[in-house]
Amino acid sequence: MPASPSPQPSSQPSSTTARVSRRIGAIAESATLAVDAKAKALKAAGRPVIGFGAGEPDFPTPDYVVEAAVQAAKDPRNHRYSPASGLPELKEAIAEKTLRDSGFRIEANQVLVTNGGKQAVFNTFATLLDPGDEVILPTPFWTTYPESIRLADGVPVEVFAGPENGYKVTVDQLDAAVTERTKVLVFVSPSNPTGAVYSPAETAAIGRWAHDRGLWVVTDEIYEHLTYDDMPFTSIATAVPELAEQVIVLNGVAKTYAMTGWRVGWMAGPVDIIKAATNLQSHSTSNVANVSQRAALAAVSGPLDAVETMKAAFDRRRRAMVAGLNAVPGFSCPTPEGAFYAYVDVRGALGGQHQTSADLAGYILDEAEVAVVPGEAFGPSGFLRLSYALGDDDLAEGVERIQKLLEK
């Protein structure tokens, strides 16, 4: 058989070939990052900007976790490639921790350790979705969800729940959104961006609904330890054990142990899915940095004292923030029951100069030098997300500046 000619590099790029692929070109700029970039630029220029944009605890990683990493860095075992799916001892500890914290029983071979919770989100949709598969996405949603669904050629189907419903979708709403193409339901409780927490009964009803329709449930439990006012955390996987073969649990050390920069998360689910997702990861990023995995091992197999301390501070700030924001004309802020975000309904403050929440966020940043994230990052306009993971004094000052600006 004659050898096929090797393709000749063309000197002229074809005019029909875009420089950036359609798939990547379609990714929306993150509104969260846009606000953050503007706030950082102002700060760098010496302006006293107060940032409510951050999605991370303002506490340091606990000492014993850092110490485990220091020791790990000195051990040559950690200087080499390790299994793409994660260190066996870490996967074992994650299985034990999952049983301890949420009552969901899994084995180590049902865990894939990822580069932060974000890679677990990406891997999950890449592994579950075929082109055109629909994913029901309760809205407001964390901004990475629709992008990673679309990157996997899936179709996000937004189901909006406003403050009137405590930012929680109902089974009736889900029923109205389901079609023959629906494959997955996303369930995030406590929620980023709204701080909403589904009760045990609500969680079980939604889990049963998904199971009855043969849907997969992708449940993000990264804020499991941050609930307030005696609101319990409920894992949908435990509430509806029949889901076991069709549930993927996403989690990580970022929020519970103040470890956002260490980049360790995981996905847990049925063995075949984890195996397939591991194949994907083995060609994309391979193993997560061993030093970070050793730090995560110390974190998940250790106590939960650090998160209890953070939680007490977040709870105090949460109350101060909600009270302050509700005093702003046109603002209405329900009390969030979890995570560390307040989601303010600002529809009453729009119109005239500021038609959208993006306009309003821009105005607050320009005039009061306070950074907040507009609802457009998470769904419809009309809302602002403020993180209360910042110092009490900054929080009070920032809320006061917004009050003064909008009282005018």
Interface residue list for ligand PMP (CB under 6 A) = 55, 116-118, 142, 188, 192, 220, 222, 252, 254, 260, 265
Kindly state the smallest distance separating residue 267's Cβ from ligand PMP, in Å.
11
Local structure of residue 334 (DSSP, 8 states): P
Local structure of residue 328 (DSSP, 8 states): S
Kindly state the smallest distance separating residue 352's Cβ from ligand PMP, in Å.
33
220 neighbors 117 (Cβ within 8 angstroms): yes
The label of the residue with tokens 């509806």 reads 240
Nearer to ligand PMP, 82 or 123 (CB): 123
Kindly state the smallest distance separating residue 265's Cβ from ligand PMP, in Å.
4
Nearer to ligand PMP, 142 or 314 (CB): 142
Kindly state the smallest distance separating residue 338's Cβ from ligand PMP, in Å.
11
Nearer to ligand PMP, 209 or 340 (CB): 340
Strand, helix or coil at 330? coil
Nearer to ligand PMP, 111 or 328 (CB): 111
Nearer to ligand PMP, 254 or 358 (CB): 254
Q: How far apart are CA 222 and CA 368, in angstroms?
A: 32
81: left (phi over 0), alpha (psi -120 to 50) or beta: beta
Tokens representing residue 136 in the block: 């029901």
269 neighbors 309 (Cβ within 8 angstroms): no
In 169-311, beta strands by DSSP E? 182-188, 216-220, 247-252, 265-268
Nearer to ligand PMP, 154 or 324 (CB): 154
Going by DSSP bridges, is the β-strand pair 182-188/134-139 parallel, antiparallel, or unpaired?
Answer: parallel
Nearer to ligand PMP, 149 or 254 (CB): 254
Roughly how many angstroms between the first and final C-alpha of the chain, as a whole number?
82
Please provide residue 177's backbone torsions phi and psi, each rounded to the nearest 5 degrees. -95, -15
Among 96, 55, 76, 122, which residue's Cα sits nearest to residue 297? 96
Kindly state the smallest distance separating residue 32's Cβ from ligand PMP, in Å.
9
Kindly state the smallest distance separating residue 115's Cβ from ligand PMP, in Å.
8
Question: Which residues, 6+ apart, have CB-to-CB distance to 260 below 8 Å?
Answer: 55, 56, 57, 116, 254
Q: How far apart are CA 373 and CA 330, in angstroms?
A: 17
Kindly state the smallest distance separating residue 243's Cβ from ligand PMP, in Å.
19
Nearer to ligand PMP, 58 or 359 (CB): 58
Q: Which residue is nearest to ligand PMP (CB)?
A: 116
278 neighbors 145 (Cβ within 8 angstroms): no
Cα 122 vs. chain centroid, distance in angstroms? 11
Kindly state the smallest distance separating residue 138's Cβ from ligand PMP, in Å.
12
Kindly state the smallest distance separating residue 221's Cβ from ligand PMP, in Å.
9
Q: Exposed, middle or buried, 160 (CB in 10 Å: 0-12/13-18/19+)?
A: middle
Nearer to ligand PMP, 56 or 367 (CB): 56
Nearer to ligand PMP, 261 or 348 (CB): 261
Tokens representing residue 120 in the block: 């677990």
Kindly state the smallest distance separating residue 298's Cβ from ligand PMP, in Å.
17
